[in-house]
A and B are shown apart, each in its own frame.
Chain A
């Protein structure tokens, strides 16, 4: 890995400056040629640490920034977009600091989570406005191309105020793409979208990644990240809990013990059948409900209907009890 030293004067107590409880200068170095890099980045608000000493490098392709609500995902994205000052460390876009450096926006697009479009503008006007602020020579043409990219030609002349959530999201993406940036940051892009809109958005982001862009999107929903991102960064409580290939992380998540609650026509008989299956390592009858612990999610899912049928038991309800992300991520952190 080629590295170079960080120039002085970055951030507040930036790289190269002594810091940390151990004292003495910390020699931090940026990766040469990295499109997006966080190096030892922390952000705190008073006594609250929102992001704690995170480092990563992003290259082309889709990367998912995954974590429960409040984990620090938006804080990271805002620092990457130069909208928040890192309390410590370096946030670099193509080797330049993101904070207080508007020139980075020539090659970066941000799609914020919040509604950020004046509702009185038409979709075309909004995208053209972005093009003009980027000082593109042919703002109208660039706006039309960006609108075509997100498939919004038919609604381009309607006011944004009349758009559905999914349409607003797409027009925001068109605005962020109008200057053809190689880096695109999206904060919870799937929030509030229906399944069809999600699919469309995933196709769009996948296509843009195929064009060689660096795409980072945040999400608290595992399935979204799974379907879209080759790489993931898992953020838990402001720390980078895991990063790398999604399949590996998914395997860790899938292999963890799961607990299900069942309700059936005959819990006791079903419990007897289940306890004999190798995927099940715990069964508990508890006030009209059956709690089952399994270490093999897929095996259990396959076995359950067959076991119930064989025992003549009807399953009335099946519910995972520990599927909240906190517990999933908590498990990952322990690993």
Chain B
């Protein structure tokens, strides 16, 4: 059965660079983004994340209602802003959305129909990253702003709330992008992401100098403090400008890694 016949139909394959018909290329990104958003929000864990995001706000309200003043209230405010928001909520949200945006689809097989389309892989990455990052920011930044506005740590007024919102928005962007790339590098992205957050950022960054440069948590703290008031809010280990540059570098590197990995992503196992 060799050499039997010529190809049928629209047999000529145009080059990848050739322009597609009618609907624009941007609409492909919109289509993929809409599907990703629906997929991420449809899962039960989104509800869990919303509840988690409400937790620091609720805690802030309780602290204000309790009427505590002075040094004690300052400690509580720091605990909520740092421990609850930056150390817990932010990485969890970034981890869940970052790894689920494409990693979950690769795992359950729903990514296949997307990969067998004449769509450049970078468009798939861009579409999914927009959604993963957007949803992460949408959950974390308002919660940070609300908690910051209620608590006003260090009496910084609204600048503390703005700093927290901007810092966590940038942190969410970095976390989601890095974990997105990680989910294309390994099937254990969730576990490795947790180890990074708990061990690297939680323990080692506090003990070893230099680890802060590779800690997204430290980027967030530095940027938040610079906008709020570094005299009052703890800026952590890094200078804000350094943190900003490192954030941009981390996002860029992760996005490039994600595109490269997806372009040569293999599906299928040795045993059929």
Using a CB–CB cutoff of 8 Å, the interface residues on chain A facing chain B are 1, 31, 33-35, 45, 48, 50, 56-60, 63, 69-75, 78, 81-85, 93-96, 100-110, 112, 114-118, 120, 129-130, 132-137, 139, 172, 175, 180-183, 212-214, 231, 233, 243-245
A89 to chain B, nearest CB (A): 15
Closest 4 CB pairs of A and B: A182-B9, A59-B5, A78-B268, A137-B22
Chosen A-B contacts, 11 in total, with CB atoms closer than 8 Å, are A31-B3, A35-B6, A45-B270, A48-B270, A57-B2, A59-B1, A78-B267, A103-B13, A106-B13, A112-B112, A114-B112
Using a CB–CB cutoff of 8 Å, the interface residues on chain B facing chain A are 1-16, 18, 20-23, 25, 27-28, 31-32, 35, 38-39, 42, 108-121, 263-264, 266-272
Q: Are A112 and B109 in contact (CB under 8 A)?
A: yes
**Choice from B7, B42, B113 contacting A117 with Cβ under 8 Å:** B113
B114 to chain A, nearest CB (A): 7
**Choice from B1, B31, B267, B268 contacting A129 with Cβ under 8 Å:** B31
A34 to B113, CA, bound (A): 25
Main SS of chain B's interface residues? loop
Q: Are A103 and B9 in contact (CB under 8 A)?
A: no
Given A60-B5, A116-B110, A130-B113, A106 and B23 touching (CB < 8 A)? no
A84 to B112, CA, bound (A): 12
Chain A residues with Cβ below 8 Å from B21 are 135-137
**Choice from B2, B31, B270 contacting A133 with Cβ under 8 Å:** B31
Chain B residues with Cβ below 8 Å from A139 are 23
Chain A residues with Cβ below 8 Å from B10 are 106-107, 180, 182
Residue of A93, A116, A182 with most chain B CB atoms under a 10 A cut-off: A116
Q: Are B116 and A108 in contact (CB under 8 A)?
A: yes
Q: Are B23 and A81 in contact (CB under 8 A)?
A: no
Q: Are A133 and B28 in contact (CB under 8 A)?
A: yes
Closest to B120 in A: A102
Q: Are A104 and B1 in contact (CB under 8 A)?
A: no
A45 to B268, CA, bound (A): 11
**Choice from B5, B23, B39 contacting A135 with Cβ under 8 Å:** B23
Chain A residues with Cβ below 8 Å from B120 are 102
**Choice from A75, A84, A100, A175 contacting B263 with Cβ under 8 Å:** A100
Chain B residues with Cβ below 8 Å from A136 are 21-23
B270 to chain A, nearest CB (A): 4
Given A34-B3, A100-B264, A115 and B109 touching (CB < 8 A)? yes
Q: Are A33 and B7 in contact (CB under 8 A)?
A: yes
B25 to chain A, nearest CB (A): 8
**Choice from A60, A83, A94, A135 contacting B112 with Cβ under 8 Å:** A83
Chain B residues with Cβ below 8 Å from A102 are 16, 117-121
Q: Are A214 and B8 in contact (CB under 8 A)?
A: yes
A42 to B211, CA, bound (A): 45
A243 to B2, CA, bound (A): 10
Q: Are B38 and A73 in contact (CB under 8 A)?
A: no
**Choice from A50, A114, A175 contacting B270 with Cβ under 8 Å:** A50
A74 to B109, CA, bound (A): 14
**Choice from B118, B264, B267, B272 contacting A70 with Cβ under 8 Å:** B272
B218 to chain A, nearest CB (A): 37
Given contacts A93-B13, A101-B16, A135-B23, 18 further A-B contacts (CB under 8 A): A56-B2, A63-B1, A75-B268, A78-B266, A82-B116, A83-B112, A95-B13, A103-B13, A115-B109, A118-B35, A129-B35, A133-B117, A135-B21, A136-B22, A136-B23, A172-B113, A182-B10, A212-B8
Chain A residues with Cβ below 8 Å from B113 are 110, 112, 116-117, 130, 172, 175
Given A78-B267, A132-B31, A137-B22, A244 and B1 touching (CB < 8 A)? yes
**Choice from A56, A82, A93, A120 contacting B38 with Cβ under 8 Å:** A120
